[in-house]
Amino acid sequence: MASALGTVSSAPRDFTVSGLDEEGEQETLLGTFTYTLQKGPNQTFPLQNGIPRGFRFLKLGIRSNWGKPGYTCIYRVQVHGKIVGRKAVGQTPV
């Protein structure tokens, strides 16, 4: 992992990913993961269980980092998946 200061203590360690409903009120936990420093900066975390449905919003929850008190640095998060089809208003299902 590259760091301008030569330290990685502010890198995330344990985190969760949740799907949120349209209003952002109901959360569905999609997984709990650990970012491992020895694996390098770009890591993929596939969901272990099937996703119950599609979500428009996702929430990344940082539970711990590698030792830096006070903050955790996140540089980029990418989400990959399949687009869930939407039914147009008034459209009859086939």
21-75 residue pLDDT tens: 887 778 999 999 999 988 888 899 988 767 778 888 899 999 999 999 999 998 8
Q: Is position 93 within any domain?
A: no
Exposed, middle or buried by CB within 10 Å (0-12, 13-18, 19+), for 18? middle
Residue 88 maps to a domain: no
Whole domain around residue 30: which residue ranges?
1-76
Assess if residue 47 is contained within a domain.
yes
In a domain, 63, yes or no: yes
**Which class for 26: exposed (0-12), middle (13-18), buried (19 or more C-beta within 10 A)?**
exposed
Residue 89: is its pLDDT beyond 70?
no
Q: Is residue 6 part of a domain?
A: yes
- Residue 90, domain member (yes or no): no
CB–CB of 65/14 below 8 Å?
no
pTM of the predicted protein model: 0.76
The total of structural domains in the chain comes to: 1
CA distance 24 to 55: 10
Residue 94 lies in a domain: no
Instruction: Report the CATH number that the domain containing residue 34 is assigned in CATH.
Output: 2.60.120.260
d(CA 74, CA 94): 43
